[in-house]
Chains A and B, each alone.
Chain A
Amino acid sequence: MKNKIKIALCQISCKREDKKANLEKIEELTVKAQQEGADLAIFPELSLTGYVLKDQLYEEAEIITGQSVKKIEAIAKKAGIYIIFGMPELSEKTHATIYNTAVLVGPKGLIGKYRKMYLPTHSVFEEKRYFRPGYESAVFNTDIGNIGLTICYDIFFPEVFRLCRLKGAQLIVCISASPAIRRGYFETLTAARALENTAYLAYVNLVGIEEGLQFWGGSRLISPTGDVLTKAILNEDDFVICEVDYSDLRTAETFIPVLRDLRPELFSKLKEYSEQI
């Protein structure tokens, strides 16, 4: 496994209901990432289709073994790098059950997926109307490190990130479609989730305007001590290459020994009290 990797934060706007155009953009930026020495290219939440799709989700959702993932596999194989992107995933066992899914693809094909566990359904968000929540956190051991996958609103729930870390994630990726009105929360929480877990956190947000929602971008890489190592511009498409050095995890863990100091007995209390809220 590599001790240092380069990642490309591919902050894009999407063309809604036009997978062809979005796949072309993903391919173009993956090639660019490879040319600039990146091992991994990360794209935003639902980057295959755009975020605000409403009833059209039933038209756009695809099974994980469908044509779009096959196309991404071909792109990853040709470039020889890893890709993380988001898509509305149709269950293979039913006809209209859809997940908001992050997909990890490597040079040898599909590695795995994460189905968003926390679906915002308040204010402008209506994800529970369309999506079924996932039930598993996801960490994948790859040649470029142990990578945990999370999606957007998950970041308000530290347990998702803690689970990823406890499963061995060194780099936690959060793909997002966060509108500008929420920017402050995400700027705070991205740093907090990295710091409290002493893990790298790569946050890649959507840009563009969909149904009056302006996505703010501001994608970033956070160090295991909560420092913003690099960040993309606000509101516009951007492409940023940054480096993850896993040897920094040891230093961070000694300086901020949160993993050593975990108190598992509190977790059963959390369960007990959260059931009574």
Chain B
Amino acid sequence: MKLTAAALDTDFSEIQNRICNFIKDYVKNANAKGIVLGLSGGIDSSTTAVLSSLAIGGEKVLGLIIPEKETVRQKDIDDAKAIAKQFNIQTQICDITEALNNLYKSIPILDQKEKLCKGNIKARARMIVLYYYANIQNRIVCGSSDKSETLMGYFTKWGDAAADITPIIDLYKTQVRKLALHIGIPRELALKPSTPALWPDQFAEAELGIKYEILDLILYGLERFMKAEEIEQQLKIDKTVINSIKNRLVANEHKRRMPMAPKLAFRTPGNDFRIPRNIIKGAI
């Protein structure tokens, strides 16, 4: 198997159809009135929002723009509004600055200088807002996680990863960019550097320490059970880099699963109750 950019090429028309059918089917079977998602002005949420609008119509998709004082960038808000306008997606702005400040005040041990744990509060606060809209308006929360960031554990547990469906989670970041271009997202936005917006000037590639073009090929090789030596030979990358990615992938499995539980009884939630989701009897 050759690890080149061509390995990640796929039929994006087919991918678009399958994702749109998936979204449409899920919303219909859940008897939901629509979708709500966080619209950050970045590539993942824009692509997810556009796919949702293509699936069920933009009028049923609500993109929440959730800025807060520390990380807000007018450019991101403008990008979010522009993509929403282009695809008839509804938007609402929910500024969570004050809520966050109050939340910080309520935590006696809060360290204002520490970035990561405090940043995670922001991601979880956004989740709270999304689920409020979902509950009150009978919407599905649509997550925007992609495969690269999910496999790397580059997300906030119970924060940005918390959702009812994750339509692009099986696409690497470089594939999301190509899909974005395929469905008509402007090039500038499709190629815009990603940021989780947990603190100012935070950019994903800088923080991960690797370009997505390389990371995705390494992850693709690991997905297909290639050995680190084979990946090293093909990509001409030091094996320590490959192993560190592999270790990170494995170490973050806890973020992708239900909480672990001690096995005490006949059937254990999360492990043994294996019940199909999204079945509503009496409706087809």
Contacts and interface: CB of A to CB of B under 8 A. Distances in A.
A248 interface: no
Contacts of B272: 55
B31 to A, nearest CB: 14
B281 interface: yes
Contact of A15 (B18, B277, B284): B284
B281 A180 contact: no
Given A18-B281, A21-B284, A209-B25, A214 B275 contact: no
A272 interface: no
B71 interface: no
Contact of B279 (A17, A208, A214, A235): A17
A209 B282 CA distance: 17
Interface string B251-284: 0000000000000000000001111111101101
A54 interface: yes
Nearest to B19: A214
Nearest to A235: B21
A3 to B, nearest CB: 40
Contacts of A52: 276
B80 to A, nearest CB: 27
Contacts of A211: 276-278
B22 A16 contact: no
Contacts of B279: 16-17
A214 B22 contact: yes
Contacts of A180: 14, 18
Interface residues of B, number: 18
A17 B275 contact: no
Contacts of B273: 55
A130 B26 CA distance: 25
Interface in A206-228: 208-212, 214
B19 to A, nearest CB: 10
A54 B275 contact: yes
A199 to B, nearest CB: 31
A124 to B, nearest CB: 11
A16 B276 contact: yes
Contacts of A235: 17, 21
Identify the 3 closest CB pairs spanning chains A and B, nearest first.
A54-B274, A209-B25, A55-B274
Interface of A: 15-18, 21, 52-56, 180, 208-212, 214, 235
30 contacts: A16-B279, A17-B276, A17-B281, A18-B281, A18-B282, A18-B284, A21-B284, A52-B276, A53-B276, A54-B274, A54-B275, A54-B276, A55-B272, A55-B274, A55-B275, A56-B275, A180-B18, A208-B25, A209-B21, A209-B22, A209-B25, A209-B26, A210-B276, A211-B277, A212-B22, A214-B18, A214-B21, A214-B22, A235-B17, A235-B21
